[in-house]
Amino acid sequence: MSDSHWRPVDGAPDPFRVRWFESVDSTNRYLLDGARSGEPEGLVAVADVQTAGRGRLGRRWETDPGAALLASILLRPTSNLDPHLLTTTVALALRRAVERLTGTAPGLKWPNDLVVADRKLAGVLAEAIPTPQGTAIVVGAGTNVKAVPSEFRDRAIACDDLADGSVDRQQLLFAWLEELAARVRRPGEVIDEATVASATLGRDVRIEGHDGEAITGRAVGLTASGALVVEMEDGSRRAFTAGDVVHLRPA
């Protein structure tokens, strides 16, 4: 791994090891390179600034320096955890960490965004690659921490907006890692927790597929693998494993 301008951060819960960058092109890219070179599970990359951060569907993710917790985690799933549920597990851990520090539990917008009253707090993105040591999955998240400027408050929210005071990014990171370590040991509870946390179930939604297809219906459930079940107007049901979800407002 060629990037050298990072500092280690002590005190992270086992098995995590944190490298904190002032600036890096992408924390996900850094850990994918590390996975290819044999880095073990638990390496975490954090950045004050990402110069080429990406969200879902290749969208750019940009924030002011220090305004967000920008972090990625290298995981190597074992047989006791369905890799398809791993991103949801990470998002649920982040949800609980936010609740611990702010007193507010955000909702889980399918597949893995965190929202408060439909305002985005965090986005989670996973990338999987084969390596000589087996499949590696890097899960990255961008979480708004500093208060959101007034011009964006109709669609975004931050931890500082939810808390009585300012939220420390390192404290949020460590709380997230603690919650993740606990959930990886309880893989059978992921769907139940995701169902309770969901901000999507029971809503009228539009699913926008990567191929341009758009389907409208009501989100009614999650499958055992985390797919979103949508009921159409004719009563038929369809399970979606990918796609962008738009929460539709009542007419």
Contact 177, 12 (CB under 8 A): yes
pLDDT number for residue 1: 58
* 209 token code pair: 């597929």
What domains are defined for the chain?
6-197 (3.30.930.10), 204-247 (2.30.30.100)
Residue 60 has pLDDT above 70, yes or no: no
Contact 9, 170 (CB under 8 A): yes
pLDDT number for residue 81: 64
pTM: 0.93
Residue 219's Cβ-side half-sphere holds a number of Cα atoms within 13 Å equal to 25
pLDDT average, residue stretch 174-187: 91
Paired sense of beta strands 214-222 and 228-231, if any: antiparallel
- pLDDT tens column, 102-120: 999 999 999 999 999 999 9
pLDDT number for residue 54: 57
Residue 124 has pLDDT above 90, yes or no: yes
HEC-encoded secondary structure of the chain: CCCCCEEEECCCCCCCEEEEEEEECCHHHHHHHHHHCCCCCCEEEEEEEECCCECHHHCECCCCCCCEEEEEEEECCCCCCCHHHHHHHHHHHHHHHHHHHHCCCCEEECCCEEEECCEEEEEEEEEEECCCCCCEEEEEEEEECCCCCHHHCCCECCHHHHCCCCCCHHHHHHHHHHHHHHHHCCHHHHHHHHHHHECCCCCEEEEECCCCCEEEEEEEEECCCCCEEEECCCCCEEEECCCEEEECCCC
User: Closest Cα partner for 114 from 64, 86, 84, 156?
Assistant: 156
* 155 token code pair: 């669609």
Residue 188 has pLDDT above 90, yes or no: no
CA 195 to mean position of chain CA atoms:
16
User: Closest Cα partner for 72 from 137, 162, 158?
Assistant: 137
- pLDDT tens column, 64-104: 889 999 999 999 987 666 777 899 999 999 999 999 999 99
